[in-house]
Amino acid sequence: MPTSADAIVVGGGIVGMSTAYHLVRAGVETVLIDRADAGRATDAGAGILSPETNTRDPDIWFDLAVDAVDYYPTLMDNLLADQADDVGYSRCGALVVAMADDDVAAFEATQQHIIDRRDQRSQPTPDELHTMSPVEAGELMPPLGDIAGAIWNANACRVDGRLLNRALRRAAEHRGLTVIDGSVDELILGRGKVTGVRCAGEPVHAGATAIAGGAWSSTFGDQIGVDIPIEPQRGQIIHVDLPGTDTSTWPIISALGSQYMVPWPDSRIVVGASRETGSGFATGTTVAGVHEVLGEALRVAPGLKQGHIREVRVGLRPVAADSMPVLGDVGGVSGVHLATGHGPTGLTLGPYSGHLVAQQMLGQVPSSDITAFHVSRFAS
């Protein structure tokens, strides 16, 4: 185990791994410490990249999400140059649908919000983002049931979180990242500055430390004198095999509410996800969660009823008290930065958040303004 480095990253999920990757890419000697907790959100994420059809989150999230998704092609080029593996990133399009038994008024409000925002921003173009007839939507996604309305986003993409995390790690290690499999006992503080961490009883010193511990990040709040109000939210997501079915051209499906479907080219469709607030750190699959996910999937797409369950994944999403990310330095304590709280949008925001926090750790002005996501917003 090294005794010192220029920077330390605590946590090896998508946000921490991206932070470490961007640090080493800038020539910073970096140590990443990860205990690979069961239930890490990255491993169970759906990988939907379509902020234009999100109507749940506020404008500050939307602005960051647009920048984050726009950054993906650059990140893909950099990973390719750094000899990383395929990450399952591709443009596939997305449909927002209302079924015949849905609240049509709610769908019309959703539709109006999406189209108004498109027109206000002058992007995407009307050809890329527009309403679609039920017949056209059904042709794009044959398993769908009786559709009442649909919105099409041609620019939506998908990414495999496990593959992306693996690629970031490989690329970062290629550039010299040191990874320690273990747990951080505590931060090392002195005179208002974090100077490293203690891992398995041994000190590792660094000039800058990033806490990217996902749902476990709040552990360090007391040490640095701030409230990091992040709680785990369990999400159960089911991978369904459709043997002999060509799913390669199917789009992402988002129904009213929080349910979605993400098709992959290998005759597989991912359906989910439950949102179980108050779950604690329990990572087991539950009857209620599976029933909720499959019940909604079959309501929206009854054509999936002959599918085979390949796998049920469980992720603990790190959800902050206001459901927004927690990014940046910590007022009153130098040498420490936070990169956590991305909730169910970790694969949308996480790689870019890691880039922004790495920039700040390097003394640079982040490419996007992260002031609104500072931890000080939780101060009493």
Express each pLDDT in 257-301 by its tens digit.
Answer: 778 999 999 999 999 999 999 999 999 999 999 999 999 999 999
Instruction: Give me the mean pLDDT over the 156-160 stretch.
Output: 97
| Length of the chain, in residues | 380
In this predicted structure, what is the pLDDT of residue 22? 98
- Is 353's pLDDT higher than 80? yes
Residue 372 in domain = yes
Which are the contacts of 106, defined by CB distance < 8 A and separation ≥ 6? 98, 256
Strand order in the sheet with 178-181: 178-181, 30-34, 7-10, 208-211, 333-340, 326-330
Burial class (CB in 10 A: 0-12, 13-18, 19+), 4: middle
Give residue-wise pLDDT tens across range 73-116: 999 999 999 987 788 899 999 999 999 888 889 999 999 999 99
Pick from 9, 11, 7: which is nearest to 26 by CA? 7
17 is a domain residue? yes
Report yes or no on 106 lying in a domain. no
User: How much is the mean pLDDT over the chain?
Assistant: 95
In a domain, 212, yes or no: yes
pLDDT in tens, 4-40: 999 999 999 999 999 999 999 999 999 999 999 999 9
Smallest Cα–Cα separation from 350: which of 365, 361, 360, 340?
Answer: 340
* Structural domain boundaries, residue 187: 7-45+161-229+322-378
Q: Let me know if residue 195 belongs to a domain.
A: yes
Is 337 domain-assigned? yes
> Is residue 349 a contact partner of residue 318, using CB atoms and an 8 Å limit?
no
- How far are the Cα atoms of 22, 56, 176, 197 from residue 204, in angstroms, in the given order? 20, 41, 17, 5
Distances 354 to 347, 358, 367 between C-alpha atoms, Å: 11, 6, 12
| Number of separate domains in the chain | 1
Is 148 contained in some domain? Answer: no
User: Containing H/E element for 48?
Assistant: strand 48-49
**Can you read off the two tokens belonging to residue 35?**
């205990």
The yes-or-no verdict on residue 183 having pLDDT over 80 is yes
Please work out, in degrees rounded to the nearest 5, the angle formed at the alpha carbon of residue 215 by the alpha carbons of 40 and 77.
55
Is residue 239 a part of any domain in this protein?
no
| Contact status, residue 293 vs residue 286, Cβ threshold 8 Å | no
Mean pLDDT of 109-137: 96
Note the pLDDT of residue 85.
78
CATH of residue 22: 3.50.50.60
Task: Give the tens place of pLDDT for each residue, 132-150.
Answer: 999 999 999 999 999 999 9
| Distance (Å, whole) CA 349 – CA 283 | 23
Q: How many CA atoms lie within 13 A of 361 on its CB side?
A: 34
- Judged against a pLDDT cut of 70, whether residue 380 lies above it is answered with no
| Coil vs helix vs strand at 91 | strand
